[in-house]
Structure 1
Amino acid sequence: MTPADRLRALLAEDRLLTMPCCFDALSAKLIEQAGFDLTFMSGFAASASRIGAPDLGLMSYAEVQDQARNICEAVSLPLIGDGDTGYGNAMNVRRTVAGMARAGCAAVMIEDQVAPKRCGHTPGKDVVGREEAFDRIRAAVDARNEGPDILILARTDARHTLGLDEAIARAARFAELGADILFVEAPKTEAEMRRVCDELPGPKMANIVEGGETPDLPAAVLEEIGYRIAAYPLSLMAAAMKAMVETLESMAAGHPRAPHLMDFAELRRRIGFDDYYARSEAYASAARPR
């Protein structure tokens, strides 16, 4: 099965898929080790991790594709890649979709924000006109149909500036154009989330940012509303950053034995040292003193 086939099989199941989002190969490995079924490369978290900068369109297509490739090579989980606005016009969208498929992604997200885009839960975002938005999804679907197998996650941020009716209308047209998964970003109430699921066809994704604009509803409620995927884009990064900041504060205060340290043996195991050594036993030239 291709990564896209594995994602299709998951979406065919009648349940909510809880999706912690990764930002690099190591965070993706931890998600897989925890037993989750899929992950998403969060643009917000990947930008912070790779270039130490906010998610304001600063990462290039090549950097995003490279980050996705590294993640796909490290795990067997289906990965949804963040393709932002497609990095240009409709022809750029086609290249982005094909490139993310070659990187190993099961799906790629294409959105209707103006460029440079920004995190959906931060100020200042806006969307392109309908026809440009539709051209992006049409181009993405064409690239999917003509190239390597990949699903299209179509996102609209129109709720922020144009209202929920416009966001739903855009998402409905995305579905008509052939998008596989729909994502209406930042509904502000549970009632709005129910409208999204009641009025739109196919699988829908909820984006749960702790402290963001969308209600942080329990998984059981999200499933009852009708969502098929619940994405948590910043949970791991926020947890990791908090632990790192507190560890640094402890070290600066003269207490190097910080409270958040993972045992060294577990650290090695989770990264893959134990597996490497076990496999290397079959090759005399690879054997090295430990």
Structure 2
Amino acid sequence: MTQAQNLRALLEQDTCHMMPCCFDALSAKLIAQEGYALTFMSGFAASASRLGEPDLGLMSYGEVVDQVNNITSAINIPLIGDGDTGYGNAMNVRRTVAGFAKAGCAAVMIEDQLAPKRCGHTPGKAVVSRDEAFDRIRAAVDQREALREKGGDILILARTDARYEHGLGEAIARAEVFAELGADILFVEAPTSESEMRDVCGALPGPKMANIVEGGDTPDLPIELLHEIGYSIATYPLTLMASAMQAMVTTLRDMRCGTRPDLMDFGELRERIGFDAYYEGSEQYASSRRGSGGQ
């Protein structure tokens, strides 16, 4: 099965999948090692990791696809990639979908924010007109179908941020049209209460995704309740990034004070990164055992 097919099979299950988000190959590898069924490359976290800059449209299409390539090469579970606004007009959206599919993504997210986009839980968001939003999703779906004709595949995750500027009704109306256009997964960003989340799931067909940002606008509800409300995926875009940053800052401060940091055992660290698997695989090659790359 392709990763797109794997994702479809997961979405058919009667559950809400907890989806921790990665930001690079190592964080994705850890998610897979801990038995999670799928992951998402968070644009917020990837921009912070790769550029050391906020998620305000600073990463280019090429940089994002490169990051996706690194991640899909390291894992064997479905990855959903953050395609932002598609990086231009409808034809750019088609190129984005094709590029993410070629890089091995199971799905790509396309949203209706004005470019440059902003994190969904920060102020100042604005969305494009309905017509432009619909053109983006129509183009994404058209490219998905073109890929299928050539043996490729990818799912389209359609996102709207209209709740912030225009209210929940407008966001639901946009998402309804996204579904009619053929989007595979719907994502209404930043509902602000459990009641709004129920309104979203009650009004929209097919799989829906909830975005849980600790300290953000959307309630951090238990996964069982999210399933009961009607969500198929609960994504946690900043949990690993925030945890890693907190651990690194704490360790740096402890080192200055002479305190021994609480570290992962060196043996486990090597094993999780892949040293043990490398050495085991290299046993069949004499030059690899010697560590020689030349004569």
Kindly report which structure 2 residues correspond to 1:38-117, keeping only aligned pairs within 5 A, or say none.
38-117=38-117
Deviation at 1:254, TM superposition (A): 2.5
Q: 1:228 aligns with which of 227, 232, 247?
A: 232
Q: Residue 222 of structure 2 corresponds to which residue in structure 1?
A: 218
Are 1:192 and 2:196 an aligned pair?
yes
Unaligned runs of 5+ in 1: none
Q: Matched residues in 2 for 1:52 and 1:166: separation?
A: 34
Q: The residue matched to 2:206 in structure 1 has which SS?
A: coil
Deviation at 1:251, TM superposition (A): 1.1
Q: Matched residues in 2 for 1:124 and 1:166: separation?
A: 18
**C-alpha deviations, 1:64-120, integer Å up to 9, x for none?**
000001000000010000000000000000000000000000000000000000100
Q: Matched residues in 1 for 2:287 and 2:43: separation?
A: 41
One-letter identity of the residue aligned with 1:284: A
Deviation at 1:2, TM superposition (A): 1.0
Q: Matched residues in 1 for 2:192 and 2:242: separation?
A: 22
Q: Matched residues in 2 for 1:13 and 1:119: separation?
A: 29
Q: Residue 238 of structure 1 corresponds to which residue in structure 2?
A: 242
Q: Residue 287 of structure 2 corresponds to which residue in structure 1?
A: 285
Alignment coverage as a number of residue pairs: 287
One-letter identity of the residue aligned with 1:7: L
Q: The residue matched to 1:287 in structure 2 has which SS?
A: helix
Q: Matched residues in 2 for 1:252 and 1:131: separation?
A: 56
Q: Residue 182 of structure 1 corresponds to which residue in structure 2?
A: 186
Deviation at 1:270, TM superposition (A): 0.3
Q: The residue matched to 2:290 in structure 1 has which SS?
A: coil
**C-alpha deviations, 1:114-148, integer Å up to 9, x for none?**
00001000011100000000000000000100013
**C-alpha deviations, 1:238-289, integer Å up to 9, x for none?**
000000000000112233x212x10000000000000110111011121037
Q: Residue 155 of structure 1 corresponds to which residue in structure 2?
A: 159
TM-score, scaled to structure 2 = 0.96
Are 1:254 and 2:262 an aligned pair?
no
**C-alpha deviations, 1:2-29, integer Å up to 9, x for none?**
1100100111111111100000000000
Q: Matched residues in 2 for 1:50 and 1:90: separation?
A: 27
Q: Matched residues in 2 for 1:274 and 1:13: separation?
A: 35
Are 1:128 and 2:131 an aligned pair?
no
Q: Which runs of 4+ in 1 moved over 4 A?
A: none
Unaligned runs of 5+ in 2: none
Q: Matched residues in 2 for 1:253 and 1:125: separation?
A: 42
Q: The residue matched to 2:19 in structure 1 has which SS?
A: strand
Are 1:35 and 2:35 an aligned pair?
yes
Deviation at 1:220, TM superposition (A): 0.7
One-letter identity of the residue aligned with 2:15: R
Q: Matched residues in 1 for 2:237 and 2:77: separation?
A: 16
TM-score, scaled to structure 1 = 0.98
Q: 1:270 aligns with which of 267, 272, 290?
A: 272
Identity of aligned residues (%): 74
Are 1:164 and 2:168 an aligned pair?
yes
